[in-house]
Amino acid sequence: MKSKVNATADAPIPPPYDPEAAFSTKQKPVQTPLSLTPDLDPPGADRLGLTQEEITQFREKGYVIKRALIPKETFKPFHDLWWQQPPIRAAKLDPNRPESWVSPGRFWPDENRWSLPENWMGKGIWPSPEDERFGAEKGERVGRLPHKLTRDTGNYVWRWHGIGHDPEFVRATSAHPNVLYMIEALMGGPVKLPHRNRGIYSVFPRLPDDPETRLGPHMDQNMTEMQVVTYIDDVEPSSGGFTIYPESPQLLYPTSQQAHNFVATDASTEVMDHIKEEIQPIEFCGKAGDVIFCHGWVVHSAGIHKGDRIRKAVVQDFNRVRERSHMRWTAAGKHGGVRINCSMDGIFKISADHGDDPSDGMREVTNQWIMDSNEFVLSRRPPFQDMLEEWNLGERPVERNVINEPPWWQKYNLPLLPTGVVPRGGGGTPAVPLQSVANYEGDGIWRVTSRANDWMQK
Ligand SMILES: [Fe+2]
């Protein structure tokens, strides 16, 4: 495949932003979610392919749900593994005693470095925020851990990212043939074969005295073309179900500066406020094996959880094979300088203010390694008139047009899969030195060498 896109002829380059930053506004969500149970599905939810009603729903609202798309027995080995993980053992959760599942975060350590390889910047251990680091200021963000533990608007949440690059888990979820069939039926090919997903996100029930759950609507502002959530356990109404704002992609899409990389404008902020005020969100309820397929720019939130079960969902990103540019890198601050994010054309611009030495290439560079698609799209063209211009939506038959594009960590020879003594479900991409991914051109400019499309030339 030869290069067809002239990126420099496209729109201007937007200011760089932190790859971990979601897009939202200060406006509080106003509407109460509607619980979307199977009786509300349009015809076709129980089978592969798309009915006319489902196509219309995706066109107008930006989502479609398929029931029992993956046999629930498929998830058995991962449930077993789930109960053995450090956040579960630390809080002494017992599968046979639901009362032990409540607010486990009471027993979690403030910082954890569970299931990590000892390969920070190639040799040292993964540091805690208190550790001195030669590539960053003390206390700088360390990057994603295999087990991200937080308390989100009332509920404790465990994002088990480390399972997201387990090959067997990926085959059972994102690369499941029925899932890939639906991706191609909706988005169209060539579909980029998923090599990882974000892992299992578990939302725990809370103690009666804990604060009520609230919604936290946002959109992820990455290159994801389809956001997909699979339940590996049943989710009843008001039990933390993945919650989306129907029609939000349709409203946000025309406000982006670009068609393929979401670049927010003032209009995006206004639209986000409108969505949070006026649109009734829907909560995806269902059984293990049910899957919701959404447009990638959907406004979403973890659901309100008043139940007594653990909500276990697999969060996934899908993309077409496209020409891409470099990854969404971010460099830690050093010598008193601030964090610097890489721009869309692969430039880190480091200022000598605050006494920083811009030519110092031994600084920690990380990316959002939980993503399967971590590279900007090369084309910076403006949005299409029709948001679904390039989509299939049942127009062409599914031909299994799935391409085994090398994942970004292979393109850049980065460590991701667990090495050494890391238990299954661990590992992740540590920091690498800036000088290993970029060249210094003087005047504070570091230019990243893109490896994104090398595989196409072969
Ligand atoms: Fe999100």
* CB 299, CB 289: distance < 8 Å: no
In the reported structure, the alpha carbon of residue 222 is separated from the centroid of ligand 1 by a whole-number distance in angstroms of: 10
Q: Is the pLDDT of residue 214 over 80?
A: yes
Summarize pLDDT for 265-285 with one digit per residue, the tens.
999 999 999 999 999 999 999
User: How much is the pLDDT for 457?
Assistant: 87
Mean pLDDT of 41-47: 98
Q: Is the pLDDT of residue 9 over 80?
A: no
CA 293 to chain CA mean position, Å: 14
Note the pTM of the prediction, 2 decimals. Answer: 0.96
In the reported structure, the alpha carbon of residue 217 is separated from the centroid of ligand 1 by a whole-number distance in angstroms of: 8
Query: Which residues have C-beta within 8 Å of that of residue 39, sequence separation ≥ 6?
Result: none
Summarize pLDDT for 45-87 with one digit per residue, the tens.
999 999 999 999 999 999 999 999 999 999 999 999 999 999 9
In the reported structure, the alpha carbon of residue 121 is separated from the centroid of ligand 1 by a whole-number distance in angstroms of: 28
Q: Is the pLDDT of residue 3 over 80?
A: no
Name the token pair of 418.
């667990």
Question: Across the chain, what does the average pLDDT equal?
Answer: 93
In the reported structure, the alpha carbon of residue 4 is separated from the centroid of ligand 1 by a whole-number distance in angstroms of: 32
Summarize pLDDT for 310-363 with one digit per residue, the tens.
999 999 999 999 999 989 999 998 888 889 999 999 999 999 887 889 999 999
User: How much is the pLDDT for 1?
Assistant: 40
Q: Is the pLDDT of residue 6 over 60?
A: no
In the reported structure, the alpha carbon of residue 270 is separated from the centroid of ligand 1 by a whole-number distance in angstroms of: 19
403 bridge partner residues? 192
Mean pLDDT of 4-8: 46
In the reported structure, the alpha carbon of residue 223 is separated from the centroid of ligand 1 by a whole-number distance in angstroms of: 13
The DSSP code for 396 is: S
In the reported structure, the alpha carbon of residue 38 is separated from the centroid of ligand 1 by a whole-number distance in angstroms of: 24
Q: Among residues 425, 203, 161, which one has the least CA distance to residue 302?
A: 203
- pLDDT band at 5, cuts 50/70/90? very low
In the reported structure, the alpha carbon of residue 205 is separated from the centroid of ligand 1 by a whole-number distance in angstroms of: 20
Q: How many CB atoms lie within 10 A of CB 177?
A: 12
* CB 141, CB 126: distance < 8 Å: no
Mean pLDDT of 374-398: 96
User: How much is the pLDDT for 8?
Assistant: 46
* CB 82, CB 392: distance < 8 Å: no
